[in-house]
Amino acid sequence: MKIFQDSTQQSFSGLSECQLASGKDKSRSMDVKNMREYMGWLYYQYLLITGIYVLEPWEKSIFNTVLFTMVAMVVYTSYVFVPIHVRLALEFFSGLCGEQPESTVALMS
Amino acid sequence: MTESAVNKEANGDVCQHRAVNGVKPGRSSALKEQQCHQRFVYKHDEKFHQSECNGGLYSKPFIESFEETPMLVAVLTYMGYGILTIFGYLRDFLRQWKIEKCHIAREREEQKDFVPLYQDFENFYTRNLYMRIRDSWNRPICSVPGDKMDLVERVSHDYNWTFSYTGRVVKDVINMGSYNYLGFAEKSGCCADAAAEVTLKHGVGVSSTRQEMGNLDRHEELEKLIARFLGVEAAMAFGMGFATNSMNIPALAGKGCLILSDELNHASLVLGARLSGSTIRVFKHNNMQSLEKLLRDAIVHGQPRTHRPWKKILILVEGIYSMEGSIVRLPEVIALKKKYKAYLYLDEAHSIGALGPRGRGVVDYFNLDPTDVDIMMGTFTKSFGAAGGYIGGRKELIDYLRSHSHSAVYATSMSPPIVEQIFTSMKCIMGEDGTTIGRDRIQRLAENTNYFRRRLREMGFIIYGNYDSPVVPLMLYLPAKIGAFGREMLKRNIGVVVVGFPATPIIESRARFCVSAAHTKETLDTALSAISEVGDLLQVKYSRHRTLPSLDRPYDETTYEESED
Ligand SMILES: Cc1ncc(COP(=O)(O)O)c(C=O)c1O
């Protein structure tokens, strides 16, 4: 996290040197810059943890593509199928304990 | 095969006696089981296990910590290696189908149908993992490796398969990697001057062996000095530390002997033990229960199949283990060795000069009697800033080695400038040069070690080893962090040694710092702040500040009483 703070300070001093921007603009551009630094830091951690830091760029892109595709597929699948499963599960359980008024109401409606 | 005067002693007889009588030493009621006192010391939120057992074998606290690998980190490490292995297979596949050029040695076309040469895991590892981060190793230097050094800048345009020199020099890189414990690797000062003078007078080589024409009077003087330094009867010097181990152990042990070796012993000790042809059994690192069990079994059961007693039992240990930074539990080893009448071979490569109030190694550190160690071995490569090794011990032992050791018979004798360097630095350590430089350096090293280790621990790194050991391993674990740490530190002008798989277990990659007396406090502070910065960047401050007691050993089982039979 320290690098994050450091970069904050850096961008601070960099901006205060050129007093052109108004206060509002300054804070906004700082936020954007912070965000970028933070994303860069996150990406670096991702590189280190997965070990692809040591790979050549084309290998990195293969890994990223595969991982991205897999994550996208998981997200899409869960988006499509989870609601159905949840509804089926709800029906099943409400069938088991059908006396409960709320669930019956929910089913009927 | 080898019967020395020393080795003719009681050992064989004792073994036989025991084996015949079937007395199990540990069970004998004559042995008083001592209650062990374990004390917990709280300091900096950490819990230490301080061994105070066995009637105070230790004269000072012996604190050694090996914090457990955090589970998450271990999982991520395996995952990282998994991913890299998959890409390794991909690259191997591409190379095999000639889609990509192979830069590394491989079988020739006409050898294709023979047994594959480069298929085992080590080769795979070198090809596909090590090569990618090779720039962190074997960096060429172009100055004396003192507290600072100059590096030859090099770049690689093909991902470390080849390097080219840019012609520039990276100046004043702080050197945290050399075994220059007492800072005698320097280009000026009394040692360098003396060595230069001798070079002009005697030249650089002797070109003959000690047994033929290569025996100078200075060699003999050096050996006398070493013996005096170590506090033993006699000593012998060799031109190479590695060969001192690997060539002398075969002269000391042979068929029918048993060698008990620590699992983390240096390659030279392992090679020597293997060459000797003795049976080798390995005990857990610095674990006295394991050692005692092996000793007991060896005496009770004797040799396999024949059940004859072992001719000799030789225990091989090191003073400071260069990868773990741990110090051998010498008082316990000596007690065990006496109890079971075994021989002890102590390799002080890293500890000589670096430990003890007088710089005389672990024996001095624990304030023990040097004559309790049968074979004192050490090297001049580390603390003395020279090269070579020595063996010290009883006069009979040294006389025997002089005529039987391979490295005495066949190796050229030490070069005079190196002898001079050792001579001067040793005199300096002993304070016989009329100055206090040696004493100051020993003290400085101890202070630097404590300071450096304490600061790193406070920063939250996982640091292995004994609190007094100048070898400081910092755990990195993840494979990508090995390369990243080396690179990031070099960017901040600090040269460090990072250590990976073949030298350590696969998940325990680390960076290893060697503290030196040549480092000033400012140098260490610069290095520490850079380490902290890189530690934050790479997120390697894994420590949960709750150091577990060192390896949870149950102490109650072992007693160190000598049996009086
Ligand atoms: C424990 C131990 N023994 C022996 C040696 C070999 O010494 P040298 O480098 O002088 O050949 C080393 C060196 O790395 C060592 O660490």
Instruction: Please state the ipTM of this predicted complex.
Output: 0.78
In a domain, A10, yes or no: no
In 3D, which of B368, B250, B254 has the Cα closest to residue B319? B368
- Do A82 and A71 belong to one domain? yes
- Pair type for strands B343-347 and B313-318: parallel
Ligand 1 atom nearest the C-alpha of B266 is 1
Question: Is pLDDT of B241 > 90?
Answer: yes
The residue ranking higher by pLDDT, A14 or B421, is B421
Cβ atoms within 10 A of the Cβ of B5, count? 12
Question: Is A98 found in the same domain as A67?
Answer: yes
pLDDT of residue B247: 93
Higher per-residue confidence, B14 vs B505: B505
Reported residue count of chain A is: 109
Please tell me the predicted confidence (pLDDT) of residue B467: 92
The answer to whether the Cβ–Cβ distance between B537 and A50 falls below 8 Å is no
Residue B484 alpha carbon to ligand 1 centre in Å:
28
The torsion angle over the Cα atoms of residues B315, B316, B319 and B321, rounded to 10 degrees, is -130
Residues A75 and A62 placed together within one structural domain of the fold:
yes
CA distances from B159 to A52, B133, B411, B559 (A): 14, 8, 41, 56
For residue B410, what pLDDT is reported?
84
Domain membership flag for residue A21 = yes
Does residue A5 sit within a domain? no
**More confident position, B112 or B214:** B214
Query: Are A43 and A31 in a shared domain?
Result: yes
Which residues are CB-contacts of A84 (< 8 A; sequence separation ≥ 6)? none
Same domain, A36 and A64: no
Q: Does A52 reach chain B within 8 Å, measured CB to CB? A: yes
Q: Is residue A7 part of a domain?
A: no
Mean pLDDT of B541-558: 54
Region B476-505 average pLDDT? 93
Lowest mean pLDDT among B52-56, B231-235, B315-319: B52-56
The pLDDT value recorded for residue B253 is 94
Predicted pLDDT of residue B4: 39
User: What digits encode the pLDDT tens for the residues B292-301?
Assistant: 999 999 999 9
Helix count and strand count (H, E) for chain A: 4, 0
Contact by Cβ (8 Å): B452, B469: no
Q: How confident is the model at residue B207 (pLDDT cuts 50, 70, 90)?
A: confident
Q: Which residue has the higher pLDDT, A108 or B453?
A: B453
Tokens of B139: 């960096």
Chain A interface mutation, best of B72, B77, B84, B501, highest count of A Cβ atoms under 10 Å: B84
Question: A105 and A62 in one domain?
Answer: yes
Q: Which domains does chain B have, with CATH numbers?
A: 3-41 (no CATH), 56-175+440-565 (3.90.1150.10), 190-430 (3.40.640.10)
- Residue A105's pLDDT is 52
Q: Clarify whether residues A66 and A102 are in a common domain.
A: yes
Report the pLDDT value the prediction gives residue A53, as an integer from 0 to 100.
92
Measuring CA to CA, how many Å separate B248 from each of A68, B252, B262?
A: 59, 6, 18
Q: Cα(A104)–Cα(A101) distance, rounded to whole angstroms?
A: 5
Domain that holds residue A97: 56-109
What number of C-beta contacts closer than 8 Å exist between A and B?
52
**Is residue B561 scored above 70 in pLDDT?**
no
Check whether residue A62 and residue A96 sit in a common domain. yes
Structure tokens at B220: 């003999």
Q: Least CB-CB distance to A56: which of B80, B159, B483?
A: B159
Q: Say how many domains are in chain A.
A: 2
Please report residues of B whose CB lies closer than 8 A to that of A52: 83, 480
When mean pLDDT is compared across A98-102, B21-25, B233-237, the lowest value belongs to B21-25
Do residues B475 and B542 touch, judged by C-beta distance below 8 A? yes
Query: Are the C-beta atoms of residues B230 and B376 closer than 8 Å to each other?
Result: yes
CB contact under 8 A, B83 and A49: no
User: How confident is the model at residue B545, as a pLDDT?
Assistant: 64
Is residue A3 domain-resident? no
Report the alpha-carbon angle A47-A48-A50, nearest 5.
70
Tell me the torsion sign for CA atoms B182, B183, B186, B190. Answer: negative
| Residue A45 buriedness (CB in 10 A; 0-12 / 13-18 / 19+) | middle
Measure the CA–CA gap between B507 and B273, rounded to whole angstroms.
27
Q: Could you give the dihedral angle defined by the CA atoms of residues B86, B92, B96 and B100, in that order, rounded to the nearest 10 degrees?
A: 110
Give dist(CA B53, CA B150) in Å, integer: 48
Let me know if residue A41 belongs to a domain. Answer: yes
**C-alpha distance from B491 to closest chain A C-alpha (Å):** 15
B407-416 exposure pattern, b = at least 16 Cβ within 10 A, e = fewer: bbeebbbbbb
Q: How far is it, in rounded angstroms, from Cα B248 to Cα B391?
A: 9
Task: Judge whether A1 lies within some domain.
Answer: no
The distance of Cα B9 from the centroid of its chain, to the nearest Å, equals 30
Q: A41-100: per-residue pLDDT in tens?
A: 999 999 999 999 999 999 999 999 999 999 999 999 999 999 999 999 999 998 887 655
Report which of residues B112 and B450 the model is more confident about. B450
Nearest to B349 by CA among B332, B333, B361: B361
Using alpha carbons, select from B294, B441, B297, B426 the residue that is nearest to residue B357. Answer: B441
Q: What is the pLDDT of residue B108?
A: 83
pLDDT score of B14 more than 90: no
Q: What is the mean pLDDT of residues B405-432?
A: 91
Residues in chain B: 565
CB contact under 8 A, B76 and A49: yes
Nearest residue to B459 via CA among B530, B403, B510: B530
- For the stretch B122-139, pLDDT in tens is 889 988 999 999 999 999
In sign, the C-alpha dihedral spanning B441, B442, B444, B449 is positive
Contact, B512 vs B177, CB < 8 A? Answer: yes
For residues B78-92, give the mean pLDDT.
93
Which is more confident, B540 or B554? B540
Model confidence over B39-74: pLDDT tens digits? 333 333 333 444 444 547 787 788 888 888 899 999
- Reply yes or no on whether B350 is catalytic: yes
Higher per-residue confidence, B553 vs B435: B435
- Measured between CA atoms, the residue of chain B closest to residue A59 is B87
Phi–psi pair at B245, nearest 5 degrees: -75, -55
The Cα–Cα gap between B192 and B335 comes to 41
Residue with tokens 């070796």: B261
Same domain, residue pair A48 and A61: no
pLDDT of residue B448: 95
Which residue in B90, B479, B533 is closest to A51 by CB distance?
A: B479
Place of tokens 């090809």: B127
Q: Both A64 and A87 in a single domain?
A: yes
What global pTM score does this model have? 0.81
**Mean pLDDT for chain B overall:** 85
* Whether residue A26 is found in the same domain as residue A65: no
What tokens appear for B542 in the block?
């894994």
- In a shared domain, residues A47 and A61: no
Burial of B10 (0-12, 13-18, 19+ CB in 10 A): exposed
Higher pLDDT, A107 or B446: B446
Q: Would residue A100 count as lying in a domain?
A: yes
DSSP per residue over B72-99, as a string? HHHHHHHHHHHHHHHHHHHHHHHHHTTS
Is residue A84 within 8 angstroms of chain B, CB to CB?
no
Least-confidence region, from A37-41, B69-73, B101-105: B101-105
Spacing, Cα B339 to ligand 1 middle (Å):
29
Cβ atoms B330, B338 nearer than 8 A = no
Instruction: Determine whether B519 is an active site residue.
Output: no
